[in-house]
Amino acid sequence: MRIVVTGGAGFIGSNLVDYLLQRGHDVVAFDNFSTGRREFLETARRSPAFSCVEGDTLDPPALVRAFTGADFVFHLAANADVRHGTEQPRKDLEQNTLATFNVLEAMRAAGVRRLAFSSTGSIYGEPNVFPTPEDAPFPVQTSMYGASKLAGEGLITAYCEGFGVQAYIFRFVSLLGERYSHGHVFDFFRSLRRNPGELRVLGNGQQRKSYLYVQDCLDAMLLAIERSDEPVNIFNLGTDEYCKVVESIGWITAHLGISPALTYTGGERGWIGDNPFILLDCRRIRALGWQPRLSIQEGVVRTLEYLQANLWLQNAPR
Amino acid sequence: MRIVVTGGAGFIGSNLVDYLLQRGHDVVAFDNFSTGRREFLETARRSPAFSCVEGDTLDPPALVRAFTGADFVFHLAANADVRHGTEQPRKDLEQNTLATFNVLEAMRAAGVRRLAFSSTGSIYGEPNVFPTPEDAPFPVQTSMYGASKLAGEGLITAYCEGFGVQAYIFRFVSLLGERYSHGHVFDFFRSLRRNPGELRVLGNGQQRKSYLYVQDCLDAMLLAIERSDEPVNIFNLGTDEYCKVVESIGWITAHLGISPALTYTGGERGWIGDNPFILLDCRRIRALGWQPRLSIQEGVVRTLEYLQANLWLQNAPR
């Protein structure tokens, strides 16, 4: 297949690009390199089946050109920053909601019928049901990020009904692994390198969070696309575990061999829209035969090893 | 209170304007008069507590000016046409999703903290649970209209969490009554005036639909705002009945005293995104002491009487 990956130079996108190339596909990475990194495409560039388009999801003609001749689009380009939503609400609207509309319209113009979309467990807001299944009670949004991804899902499913698009919607927990370049492990690692004696934690550290190793996520997405063939296919992707923020701090400091003093900003939530408990019900994807290879703890350690081997990321523009 | 009604010259909006003026509020109707009608504001204009701003929800500075000094915003302005969504998908995105974002940002700029929003039962897509409650399983969208309203709800609830907005979200069934100027009764009435001998029905006529009389809807909204005081307040608004399209055709033709031959375009759905069964669970609003005064049949007849007394609407630009 000829596959376009929007956000193809990002953390998840670039891993996906390599994964698809290894499986013999022609792959186009579409990225505006605002947070994507050229270094992440170094492996891909060695393949003749790879090409890269520098373009923006807010530029519809660029999308149409990139999509022309493609069989499948993975739409991963997004503002993935949950924490700063209220400081710049327009950013989630534009980069997530409008961008997804542009992707759908470009697919229509270019005649591409199949799409995978990186949605999020944040879309459940603060649910009452744990683990939270895909058909959880109608959620109430608590973050601009969740709201923008909900809007994206709504558009995509309406296009499935209206224009015969086939969609795979994946609601991720937070991902970990190689090329991880933002999120709590990144922030803690950076802070501890600067000052190994102290670590400031947003909230009370008791937030219960779920994580998934990026390669496990890629396995799950490709398996779903292979084995599920509904017009609309929606899957939670996570492990069956969660960890408290203080637990992951314990793994991080143990791995680094340090014992910083911990200070807490306090409260159940580290920021507006921070969800104190995320645990997704992943029986739907497990029923297709998938299971994650790494536990959360193993994923955290793998991520730290990557960050230690790639200190250039600490100083790269973000 | 000083209250702004976006879409204040529309079917529901203009009835709401009159209703609020009667109860002693200062009311500003904000409308671009694309589908709103100056005739609908003739009663309101007699009140010194009324003012009208001709403006567009896609013009943020106009919204900020209109909202300055207001205590409450009813955001009813929308593209309310469900049927033609796939012909112009950008219209729902702009007039419903982006417009709602603009309203929220203008509220923030003008310091208005309370909002009521006209959402829709279409947001449930094609649900599996009947009657459908507010916390129905996470829906899959089947229309551009539903998707755009879902996006609006997501934005609003994220603003409640992020910016301390208090919101009343009302998921309407189709409304009927005075100033009704689009929808199936309008279309059938117009068609039968032109040709009383024949009526073409979209779909097989077996679609089961719910309707609510506009004055009953206004009672419900104001009661909810008076008696419910959560940060996010979500209410289905409908009757506990439904009717088949062929039944409502029976009431219409009986009222008009004609017996047209019926032809059907066929299929369970009259158009893409047409929902074959709409019945909302309205126990939440009923628990506050509300009940509708008119049955669906009475609402249909009331609407016909209005249309018969206002034939100018048949020839007005739409």
pLDDT band at B101 (very low <50, low <70, confident <90, very high): very high
Question: Beta B166-172 vs A208-209: how paired, if at all?
Answer: unpaired
Contacts of A106 (CB under 8 A, 6+ apart): A60, A63, A64, A66, A67, A112
Are B193 and B151 members of one domain? no
Are A158 and A16 members of one domain? yes
Interface of A with B (CB under 8 A): 85-86, 89-90, 93, 97-98, 101, 104-105, 125, 134-144, 146-148, 150-151, 153-155, 157-159, 161-163, 232, 234, 272-273
B119 falls within a domain: yes
Are A230 and A91 members of one domain? yes
Return the CATH number at B123: 3.40.50.720
- CB-based contact B158 A141, cutoff 8 Å: yes
A283 falls within a domain: no
- CB-based contact A155 B135, cutoff 8 Å: no
Angle at A302 between CA A298 and CA A308, to 5 degrees: 145
Residue B171 DSSP code: E
| Residues of A in Cβ contact (< 8 Å) with B89 | 101, 104-105, 158-159, 162
SS3 call for B3: strand
Burial of residue B87, with CB atoms counted within 10 A of its CB: 0-12 exposed, 13-18 middle, 19 or more buried: exposed
At B78, which amino acid appears?
A
Are B104 and B252 members of one domain? no
pLDDT digits (tens, 9 = 90+) for A219-256: 999 999 999 999 999 999 999 999 999 999 999 999 99
Are B157 and B191 members of one domain? no
Residue A175 to chain B, least CA–CA distance (Å): 23
At residue B273, does pLDDT exceed 80?
no
Average pLDDT over residues A191-204: 92
Question: How far is residue A50's CA from residue A54's CA, in Å, rounded to a whole number?
Answer: 13
Structural domain that includes position A64 = 2-175+212-237
At B103, which amino acid appears?
V
Give pLDDT, residue A39: 96
User: Could you give the residue numbers annotated as active site of A?
Assistant: 145
- Residue pair B74/B116 in contact (Cβ under 8 Å)? The answer is yes
pLDDT digits (tens, 9 = 90+) for B190-226: 999 999 999 999 999 999 999 999 999 999 999 999 9
Are B201 and B134 members of one domain? no
B284 falls within a domain: no
Residue B173: which of B222, B148, B210 has the closest Cα?
B210
Residue B39 DSSP code: G
- Residue pair A54/A32 in contact (Cβ under 8 Å)? The answer is yes
- Residue pair A140/B157 in contact (Cβ under 8 Å)? The answer is yes
B318 falls within a domain: no
A141 falls within a domain: yes
| Nearest residue, CB atoms, B272 vs list A86, A151, A161 | A161
B13 falls within a domain: yes
Is 0.90 topped by the overall pTM? yes
Where does A107-231 show beta strands of DSSP type E? 114-120, 166-172, 174-176, 198-201, 208-209, 211-213
Are B184 and B79 members of one domain? no
Are A115 and A257 members of one domain? no
Number of domains in chain B: 2
- CB-based contact B162 A137, cutoff 8 Å: no
- CB-based contact A138 B138, cutoff 8 Å: yes
Are B51 and B192 members of one domain? no
Tell me the pLDDT of chain A averaged across its residues: 95
Return the CATH number at B265: 3.90.25.10
Are A146 and A223 members of one domain? yes
B285 falls within a domain: no
B102 falls within a domain: yes
Are A229 and A297 members of one domain? no
Residue A165: which of B30, B86, B113 has the closest Cα?
B86
pLDDT digits (tens, 9 = 90+) for A43-87: 999 999 999 999 999 999 999 999 999 999 999 999 987 777 788
Average pLDDT over residues B77-98: 89
Give pLDDT, residue B269: 86
Question: Beta B72-75 vs B2-6: how paired, if at all?
Answer: parallel
Give pLDDT, residue B83: 77
Are A159 and A264 members of one domain? no
At B139, which amino acid appears?
P
